[in-house]
Amino acid sequence: MELTLVTILLINLVVFCGSLLQGLIGYGIGLFSAPLLFLINPALVPAPLILISTVLTVLMMIRDKSHLQFDLITWAMKGGLVGVVLAGLVLKITTKDQFELFFGLLILAAVLISVLGFKPKVNKITNVIAGFTSGFMGTLTAVGGPPIALLYQHGAIRNIVANLTAFSMFLNIVAIITLASIGEITLDTLKIVAISTPSVCLGLYVSTKCQGIVKPHLARKWILVLSTLTAIIAIVRAL
């Protein structure tokens, strides 16, 4: 992949905005950044974005560890592990056009899940289902936040952010292992992560300063609108 100055600037702008959103509400870098990075260059999704997201979640875990409720997400992690492995097999057998179409459809599914806004009970079964869905979608498209975010959406914002961060970090590590095993992580992937890390740090820093100022529900609405538009574009291109 050729990294021109314009491409590098666009990648960093998208990653900065995604990191800012995730730092505020616990998820967003995947749902916001994946469609835009895909339009810049399909090679930026999913492996590079998953690695970038891992850097972000590690930093967020350091910031928010005191608010973590680990016992609540143990079952979600188990479901997520199964979802990641299954997604790795799907990536291995699909063609580029099939992936692009699947990508668009999964983005729309993620938006629909967020828009529905139902209130599921938090128990072992719903944790496994949400974890599996997040793991599957996250590995294929780097967008796995909405299912697990909906499950925990009614708690205190600090607890929500910490719980989602822990789950995302676990899932990203498993996804990286899965992607590496099928040859999806290359030297180019690591270069993209290296040039994006400053934007990750800056986005998280700004989000920390803006906590309590920016209204999370407004950020979510912009994410959903933009993701819907870009998902439609991806589907049209595939067809």
pLDDT in tens, 143-187: 778 788 888 877 777 888 899 999 999 989 988 998 899 899 999
End-to-end CA distance of the chain: 24
Q: Is the pLDDT of residue 231 over 70?
A: yes
What's the whole-model pTM score?
0.83
pLDDT in tens, 2-55: 889 999 999 999 999 999 999 988 888 988 899 899 999 999 999 999 999 999
* pLDDT score for 63: 94
- Give residue 87's identity as a one-letter amino acid code: A
**Structural domain boundaries in the chain:** 5-238
Distance CA 133, CA 144 (A): 7
Q: Calculate the alpha carbon distances from 59 to 56, 115, 204 in Å.
A: 5, 29, 8
